[in-house]
Structure 1
């Protein structure tokens, strides 16, 4: 079986702000963008076929020679260069961040998500070349499974937009792109459009598809071809006819928050060229053929204008003459914002997604009709990661998800029902967010602790020190720093009294921001004076100009909407006067440094969100083709881990953005990950016979204490946290249309690696303080202790320590005990810090019309993430911790009720009653008085509110 893989060309979410921040139950992560050569559409057997047919590979070549030939032919797909335009990435992420904020303010009446329908209008253009006309394409039936004697316009109209299928090469009825997206969205997404062409390019094929040796062998001029093709296709169209292809504003270019309006750019362009793709060998063109991909025209200017019109061309997808619906829908998945889910480096065994998802090997799942199997004609459904993204971005019925909070699962178990993933009418996805634990990070410059700026977008993080400077000079501030900061867009500065000062490695003026000067960006590793493997650099600043003054010293870190490194690390701060040190802070002890966004950490940082996702897959609907490739139906358990931005398991085996937990850990001989995960589902029924797979018994139970890392082929496995979670399939219909699973967790999870020492601990939690006491048996009795309290920088070497937690939540606490002989054992459990939930808020009347209310949330306590619902008293409900100011339209008496719910289901309410419009008198001038005067005025104002309310009741 061939393993097909893909490259990253779309943008995805930032579990985080690089893309849409999904709901608390679903995560998305920042991703890298790679070469326009989409590695996932590689077809190795066809490459060998064409290399042999063209005489570039001997018919008698050995398997090793074939592998080497394929590797050389496809090396362009392994190159990683940031191909997606930076301005596009930043703009779309700003739009999505704004959209997320807007969702915190509910409209008076809105459609339920499942009732929202979305339609796109695609402009498809067929283009051939002077040296390769579409009707003289030099193809024969043996050259491609999607061979037609006539590639007429009607063929592409059908394969794209028909609601009843299209005629296959042998007369079979095959799935169209319209049908795929209709089924994937539960009937709420319509893939519509028109096909134009054939048009002929101005130049021969090699002019556009030849490889650029100076740019990772990328195709030299495909955006130019797209511009030519579209210009010719729309020639003669009226403005009104052209306008039908511009009904969306995905980048919100006018900043009005409306994404469903024209923006002056054609929304979706799908190009078909008259050759086979380079990814399948390139046909008669070889390396001069175009490699299928998603990319952009006029990348630096948000598009190029079509001559004679005011319309622009920007994003496009391109695919070959013989495309099946799999390649078309995969590339359009990028257009919708999805990343690839295979190993984009196209190396090794491949990611543990395989053909379970369209955005990985699922593109090549085919239909067997008339005795012929045609790859790519029955692509599989989306992964849970993709479904959650599409649901959050476009609404509709892409997924019907139930979130199960960690606190809901106890030792007694929690049962949940599932329907198959293709059924959008009932719950077809279960999401279990996991407790966040620390992950390894950079070691401090010296000692055990350091200061860290944090990583993310739209941040203004600072650390501040108040200093009384002596009258001596020179005064020199120095510290060691390690940084990876997006050049110019993000930056760090040292400020004295809010004024940035110059240092030995600062840049004087920022070309992007006129008001930013004397800043640090880029990477410390680019500076030759960096020391150690991580390239720590000593930064120095002359403070002599401030001698004799009391100053505020601040180190900041400022980021924009998208893209960026890990930020800034600071250690060993020192201030010298005439060469003698008068102040130092090495972060080893808690000091007077005031951190706001910065944090004092060790060599770990809090991990980003992770979740398990359960899906039920069968042989119906979009997943019908899975039967043709030997994939087993049942409950799939996925791990989504936003600590990783891609699925390049050849670089980080066992860890990926998204992957399936393979229920059957018996390796299939010589099988890639695509083959290994064919039996990943948990099921009550034995597997069907499959090739060299001799382990066909079913696995119905998942337990995270077991090893799912596939140690003999680690790129095909998943390394899991041992949290004591188990899942049992307790019921399953024979067709896998329905199933019931039961989750449970063992609150105590021990590490059994070394039975010679037994470790345990007790904990007593009082408010935020947890008192721990270790219990150890075995070993030589001379123990050392290492506690990890589950928070960044929180550890201890005491036998019975205490720790004060910063929030009410569940924390994974690990105790490792080592005796003098070096034998160690660990014990891990989840410690829950539960603070009583108290709902509270205050209000203030703002605005010139005295009809606008500002709510300030003062809620305290509660376990885990809190859910806020604001009943505004006029039929409107707002959500979010601190919703935007709300303006009433009618005078009268109102009561705002705040309802707060925590992850344990505790519910508390708080209410305010008031009358509008409020009579607000001018505040007295208290500029020369203490703050008590202002408070006195506020009290009078509130009294007038109450009096007004009482008067209205008479």
Structure 2
């Protein structure tokens, strides 16, 4: 579980309060939270028995109670809002950067963007628990090794080829995991320093502090101490390579890819089993794996590392026997992701289970935690938005485009980054309960959210009187100093009785911020306050009065509600608006409402999950592959289903609503995937038949196990799996909406028209009906075709052609019409020639007619030919007129004539003295040789 403080705001807020003479925020306690998402109850029980804290033959109830007591501190650790702060802080800084570089990103496709991080790995042991005398034996952990050198962690985190497991098998590394999860666009790199020893025994750092929610006492102190020792001796340039990011945009220049004086990523491993897995020989004095920060006074980020010019701030902590699962899970927090499990370790668990790394998916694998699974669609969308690359390839579907005819959508498995691997279907939001108006039935409300710039305004002509005062009743909860409300006159903010002169942002002048509950004299449980603004300076003028609500990208309250607005002069009311009458106020983001407020975005998300790639680990937990339907609901900021069963930020819709005994949610949703095939076998599960259809009119709330269920809106929506590859690598789903809000398509009618320009036919199509999303296929009757709506085609031959047009709409409904076309193409005689002395070669290029052409050649010397492209040798040099007559099968003919000139070959004269040329020479040579032979014989 991640717990972060919004440090940029914390720093500024502390300074402002100090300057104002108020009490600055105290530095948070140095304790650290427990991440309940990494609890391994089986190992907790193992160590309770091994340490003798519970008898091996104790009853199941006794054992369960002992485990629950041991992990109980995770229940109170890290409130949900602290978790969300981390996500929002990351969102905000990256959003600022993306805004400034928008023009650059427009030049680069998201899929082409890559991201590289460099992690500093630090190993620390304790005087009472050295790493090389850790007191572990083979049965104590699935990740047991006889030794744990630095190279082991380096390979586990950063190897491109995996690392050696405890049984000499090859296991996935952190680098490989993030490569697969991101479609090879995220590079997880770094190095691990050798073991260093802490100054104090383990309990000094990992002992539980009863005065601080039983959090570990001093882990941030240990991190700073260990990092200081680990980097000692490193050159400045080597250390600087771990500071290449500015995630909080400290210098406010919008560039997040530059040094900020803080080590970017610290991963610390300690020499004990983690407390979340029983704590090994240390028990409750062991450190619980988590993601956290080194706090300091509000004016700084983290603490300086002695002997360097860098600081240590954010970190993750893992145990000596960590597998890739816990490392990637904790680094997911580093990337800005929240946990997706229920925070209460005694509860049944949220409906995410092992389907996501940020829940139980960090413990999957034949060796627990060695095969972490992929991310939830919520997490994938977050990572894609923040880091670009290929974390997800999503297709958005409009609910309004669906009807009872159904539309088919294709999916590739989630581990395939090269096709559509996620479908998104936004559904309408629902009003949420809110506070009642001050009076009457209606009030004005700013709305709640990030990056808002909402306003409401009215025009008024102010009389010439001694005093003019704008009054209103309001209550508010606005993030102090960073979000604010202003009253503006023609765009200029004016002061009021409860305004603050300045805020964190330059434009924030004369603002309402903080909480009306802190204003003395506020009324009632909703803390209504009267706000007043002096308008006397504008008497005799016509002005626009605006109430503006602005928020940044960080956390915030519900906003501001306003009622009973008026302009008065003394006891006389000159203008009033009690929100009871519509259209009196111009609204731009504000709403006129009763005791409800608008809900937040909600959507269905559809994935195909196989057991391939990084989803291989699903098999180890008995999870059946198939199409997984999720529901994302931003009315909730967490998955703490103990508090809100059936609802949460993100959850899986369980296809099989048959309970598997009394098991927790992690087991209940192992058969959540929709499929056309039998489920995989699982002990205690007797309902293994396939479920291929989702219908939102059915109950998916699991009423006997409500934390495993999802309460969904009824929209008349169905989803059916109609195709699924044998290896679950591809699927087709059919979405339908049955409420009749979208008119059903009428039958398609298709007609064609044609006009001619010579041999060129110009075709037109007229289509009505269907869903309007047409595709076209023309067959021109001679093997040629076109997919244009209104093509043109030039025919080469006279004849009758059976042309056809097939039109298909977006539902796959096709209509074909045919038409017989008579085409007349004139016969045209044409040829070319090439001359070689007395020989001429003719090339026939005649065309047209009915295609059945015959040829008559006259060479001008009394000779002729009927060949298509003949050659002819003339007897004598000279110029000749050649005529070609072409006739088609219907007797239509065409003639062309051309002049050709030929010449005789050149004759080489003899020299008159050889008496026979070469033969004479050969005869002479033969006589000479014969004479020489006779002389030898003599």
TM-score (norm 1): 0.69
State the partner residue of 2:528: 537
Task: Give the CA deviation at 1:332.
Answer: 0.9
CA deviation vs aligned residue, 1:31-82 (integer Å, no higher than 9, x gap) = xxx9731111112232233334444445555444444443443333223448
Determine which of 103, 106, 116 is the counterpart of 1:105: 103
Task: Give the CA deviation at 1:580.
Answer: 6.3
Determine which of 78, 87, 110 is the counterpart of 2:75: 78
CA deviation vs aligned residue, 1:93-126 (integer Å, no higher than 9, x gap) = 333223443565356853x333333332221110
Distance 2:654 2:147 in 1: 44
Q: Give SS of 1:93's match.
A: helix
State the partner residue of 2:318: 319
Q: 1:316 to 1:588 in 2, by over 3 A?
A: same
Q: Give SS of 1:326's match.
A: helix
2:421 is the alignment partner of 1:424: no
Q: Is the 8 A contact 2:483 2:556 kept in 1?
A: yes
Distance 1:618 1:90 in 2: 32
Task: Give the CA deviation at 1:674.
Answer: 0.9
State the partner residue of 1:19: none
State the partner residue of 2:443: 450
State the partner residue of 1:385: 378
Q: Give SS of 2:618's match.
A: helix
Distance 2:454 2:607 in 1: 39
State the partner residue of 1:278: 275
Q: 1:729 to 1:8 in 2, by over 3 A?
A: farther
Determine which of 700, 703, 722 is the counterpart of 1:730: 722
Distance 1:543 1:315 in 2: 48
Task: Give the CA deviation at 1:206.
Answer: 2.0
State the partner residue of 1:812: none
Distance 2:135 2:521 in 1: 60
Q: Is the 8 A contact 2:425 2:603 kept in 1?
A: yes
Distance 1:298 1:335 in 2: 16
Task: Give the CA deviation at 1:270.
Answer: 0.8
CA deviation vs aligned residue, 1:808-837 (integer Å, no higher than 9, x gap) = xxxxxxxxxxxxxxxxxxxxx4799xxxxx
Q: 1:626 to 1:401 in 2, by over 3 A?
A: same
2:562 is the alignment partner of 1:564: no
State the partner residue of 1:653: 645
Task: Give the CA deviation at 1:242.
Answer: 1.5
Task: Give the CA deviation at 1:683.
Answer: 0.5
Give unmatched runs, 5+ long, in structure 2. 7-30, 745-809, 812-938
Q: 1:433 to 1:515 in 2, by over 3 A?
A: closer
Q: Is the 8 A contact 1:474 1:542 kept in 2?
A: no
State the partner residue of 2:700: 708
Distance 1:520 1:568 in 2: 9
State the partner residue of 2:581: 589
Higher mean C-alpha deviation, range 284-293 or range 247-256: 247-256
Task: Give the CA deviation at 1:326.
Answer: 0.6
Distance 1:404 1:596 in 2: 27
Determine which of 259, 262, 265 is the counterpart of 1:268: 265
Q: 1:118 to 1:491 in 2, by over 3 A?
A: closer
Give unmatched runs, 5+ long, in structure 1. 1-5, 12-33, 368-373, 749-828, 833-902, 905-954
Task: Give the CA deviation at 1:565.
Answer: 0.8
Q: How does 1:516-665 map to 2 (within 5 A)?
A: 519-525=511-517, 535-541=526-532, 543=534, 554-574=546-566, 583-590=575-582, 592-665=584-657
Q: Is the 8 A contact 2:94 2:247 kept in 1?
A: no
Distance 2:102 2:507 in 1: 32
Q: 1:642 to 1:204 in 2, by over 3 A?
A: same
Determine which of 154, 157, 178 is the counterpart of 1:157: 154
RMSD over aligned Cα, in angstroms?
3.3
Q: 1:347 to 1:602 in 2, by over 3 A?
A: farther
State the partner residue of 1:361: 360
Q: 1:268 to 1:514 in 2, by over 3 A?
A: closer
CA deviation vs aligned residue, 1:167-211 (integer Å, no higher than 9, x gap) = 222333222212212222222322222110201112222222223
State the partner residue of 1:815: none
Distance 1:248 1:501 in 2: 40
CA deviation vs aligned residue, 1:845-898 (integer Å, no higher than 9, x gap) = xxxxxxxxxxxxxxxxxxxxxxxxxxxxxxxxxxxxxxxxxxxxxxxxxxxxxx
Distance 2:40 2:520 in 1: 44
Q: Give SS of 1:455's match.
A: coil
Q: Is the 8 A contact 1:201 1:229 kept in 2?
A: yes
Q: Give SS of 2:605's match.
A: strand
Task: Give the CA deviation at 1:662.
Answer: 0.9
Q: Is the 8 A contact 1:8 1:38 kept in 2?
A: no
Distance 1:500 1:606 in 2: 29
State the partner residue of 2:758: none
Task: Give the CA deviation at 1:439.
Answer: 4.0
TM-score (norm 2): 0.71
Distance 1:313 1:501 in 2: 42
Task: Give the CA deviation at 1:524.
Answer: 3.7
Q: 1:309 to 1:85 in 2, by over 3 A?
A: farther
State the partner residue of 2:393: 400
